[in-house]
Chains A and B, each alone.
Chain A
Amino acid sequence: MDKKSFKGYLYLLPSIIIMICFTLYPLVRAIIMSFLGNYSIINDGYTSIGFENYQALFSDPDFGKSLLNTAIYVICVVPASIILSLLFAVLINSCKKLKALFQTIYFLPYVTSVIAIGIVWRWMFNSNYGLINYVLSIFGIEPIQWLNLPEYAMPALIIFAIWKSMAFNILIFLAGLQTIPEDLYRAARIDSTPRFRVFTRITVPSLAPMIVYSSVIGMIGAFKVYNEVFSLFQGKAGPANSAMTIVYYIYDKFYNSYKYGVAAAGSVVLFLIILALTQIQLRVTGGRKGKN
Chain B
Amino acid sequence: GQSSTQTPETTSDAQVTEATEVASDAATAADEAAATKSIEPTEITFWHYMTGNLEETLTALTDEFNSTNEYGITVTLVNQGYASDLQTKLQASAAADALPDLTQAYNNWLTPYLDKIVHLDDFVANDFDNWDDIVEAYRGECSEFGFVHAVPFNKSTYVLFYNKTLFDELGIEAPKTWADVEADAKIVKDAKGIAFIGYDDSTGAIEATLKQNGENFVDETGALFDTDGGREAFEYLSNLYSNGYARLVGEDGYFSNVISNQNIASYVGSSAGVSYITAEGWELGVAPLPGNKVNAANMAGTNIVMFSQDTNKQLAAWEYLKFLTSTESTSKWAVSTGYLPVRQSAYETAEYKAYMEENICAAACYEQSKDFFYSPTFDASNDIRNSVSPAFEQLVLDKADAQTWFDTILSTINAQY
Residues of A within 8 A of B111 (CB): 258
Q: Is A88 an interface residue (CB 8 A)?
A: no
Q: Are B251 and A126 in contact (CB under 8 A)?
A: yes
Tell me, rounded to whole Å, the shortest Cβ–Cβ distance linking B263 to chain A.
9
A59's contact among B3, B394, B397, by CB below 8 Å, is which? Answer: B3
Q: Are B393 and A41 in contact (CB under 8 A)?
A: no
Tell me, rounded to whole Å, the shortest Cβ–Cβ distance linking B204 to chain A.
15
Interface residues of B in 1-32 (CB under 8 A from A): 1-4, 7-8, 10-11, 14
Interface residues of B in 135-154 (CB under 8 A from A): none
Residues of A within 8 A of B391 (CB): 240
Q: Are A150 and B394 in contact (CB under 8 A)?
A: yes
In the bound complex, CA of A25 to CA of B225 (Å): 46
Residues of A within 8 A of B390 (CB): 237, 240-241
In the bound complex, CA of A149 to CA of B250 (Å): 8
Residues of B within 8 A of A45 (CB): 11, 14
Q: Are A234 and B253 in contact (CB under 8 A)?
A: yes
Q: Are A240 and B91 in contact (CB under 8 A)?
A: no
Q: Are B95 and A41 in contact (CB under 8 A)?
A: yes
In the bound complex, CA of A182 to CA of B143 (Å): 75
In the bound complex, CA of A262 to CA of B116 (Å): 23
Q: Are B4 and A258 in contact (CB under 8 A)?
A: no
In the bound complex, CA of A55 to CA of B387 (Å): 19
Residues of A within 8 A of B223 (CB): none
Give residues in B with beta carbon < 8 Å to A.
1-4, 7-8, 10-11, 14, 84, 87-88, 91, 94-95, 111-113, 115-116, 248, 250-251, 253, 382-383, 386-387, 389-391, 393-394, 397
Chain A residue nearest to B1 in the complex (CB) = A56
Q: Are A240 and B397 in contact (CB under 8 A)?
A: yes
Can you name 10 A-B pairs with beta carbons within 8 Å? A37-B7, A41-B112, A42-B95, A55-B1, A56-B2, A147-B250, A148-B251, A236-B389, A256-B382, A258-B382
Taking residues whose C-beta sits less than 8 angstroms from the other chain, chain A's interface range is 35 or more
Q: Are B397 and A255 in contact (CB under 8 A)?
A: no
B94's contact among A42, A52, A56, A59, by CB below 8 Å, is which? Answer: A42
Interface residues of A in 118-134 (CB under 8 A from B): 122, 125-127
Chain A residue nearest to B395 in the complex (CB) = A240
Q: Is A48 an interface residue (CB 8 A)?
A: yes
Residues of A within 8 A of B84 (CB): 255
Q: Are A148 and B8 in contact (CB under 8 A)?
A: no
- Residues 112-156 of chain A: 1 if any B CB is under 8 Å from the residue's CB, otherwise 0? 000000000010011100000000000000000111111000000
Tell me, rounded to whole Å, the shortest Cβ–Cβ distance linking A43 to chain B.
8
In the bound complex, CA of A41 to CA of B112 (Å): 8
Q: Is A60 an interface residue (CB 8 A)?
A: yes
Q: Are B382 and A47 in contact (CB under 8 A)?
A: no
Q: Are B113 and A150 in contact (CB under 8 A)?
A: no
Chain A residue nearest to B398 in the complex (CB) = A240
Q: Is A239 an interface residue (CB 8 A)?
A: yes
Chain B residue nearest to A128 in the complex (CB) = B251
Q: Is A267 an interface residue (CB 8 A)?
A: no
Residues of B within 8 A of A38 (CB): 4, 7-8, 11
Closest 3 CB pairs of A and B: A241-B390, A56-B1, A147-B251
In this complex, the member of A48, A127, A150, A256 whose beta carbon has the largest number of chain B beta carbons within 10 angstroms is A256
B4's contact among A52, A147, A148, A236, by CB below 8 Å, is which? Answer: A52
Tell me, rounded to whole Å, the shortest Cβ–Cβ distance linking B160 to chain A.
23
| A-B CB contacts (within 8 Å), total count | 84
In the bound complex, CA of A8 to CA of B394 (Å): 56
Q: Are B251 and A125 in contact (CB under 8 A)?
A: yes
Residues of B within 8 A of A252 (CB): 386
Q: Is A281 an interface residue (CB 8 A)?
A: no
Tell me, rounded to whole Å, the shortest Cβ–Cβ distance linking B324 to chain A.
27
Q: Are B113 and A56 in contact (CB under 8 A)?
A: no
In the bound complex, CA of A48 to CA of B84 (Å): 30
Residues of B within 8 A of A149 (CB): 397
Residues of B within 8 A of A259 (CB): 1, 4
Q: Are A40 and B250 in contact (CB under 8 A)?
A: no
Q: Are A60 and B1 in contact (CB under 8 A)?
A: yes
Q: Are B113 and A42 in contact (CB under 8 A)?
A: yes
Residues of A within 8 A of B248 (CB): 148, 239
In this complex, the member of A43, A146, A236 whose beta carbon has the largest number of chain B beta carbons within 10 angstroms is A43
In the bound complex, CA of A42 to CA of B18 (Å): 14
Residues of B within 8 A of A240 (CB): 390-391, 393-394, 397
Interface residues of A in 35-78 (CB under 8 A from B): 37-38, 40-43, 45, 47-48, 52, 55-56, 59-60, 62
Residues of A within 8 A of B382 (CB): 256-258
Q: Are A37 and B4 in contact (CB under 8 A)?
A: yes
In the bound complex, CA of A10 to CA of B88 (Å): 37
In the bound complex, CA of A26 to CA of B8 (Å): 25
In the bound complex, CA of A240 to CA of B11 (Å): 33
Residues of A within 8 A of B7 (CB): 37-38, 47-48
Q: Are A239 and B393 in contact (CB under 8 A)?
A: yes
Chain B residue nearest to A37 in the complex (CB) = B7
Residues of A within 8 A of B389 (CB): 236
Chain A residue nearest to B254 in the complex (CB) = A234
Residues of B within 8 A of A126 (CB): 251
Tell me, rounded to whole Å, the shortest Cβ–Cβ distance linking B173 to chain A.
30
Residues of A within 8 A of B87 (CB): 255
Q: Are B91 and A59 in contact (CB under 8 A)?
A: no
In the bound complex, CA of A109 to CA of B4 (Å): 44
Tell me, rounded to whole Å, the shortest Cβ–Cβ distance linking A19 to chain B.
21
In the bound complex, CA of A63 to CA of B412 (Å): 15
In the bound complex, CA of A239 to CA of B3 (Å): 28
Tell me, rounded to whole Å, the shortest Cβ–Cβ distance linking A63 to chain B.
10
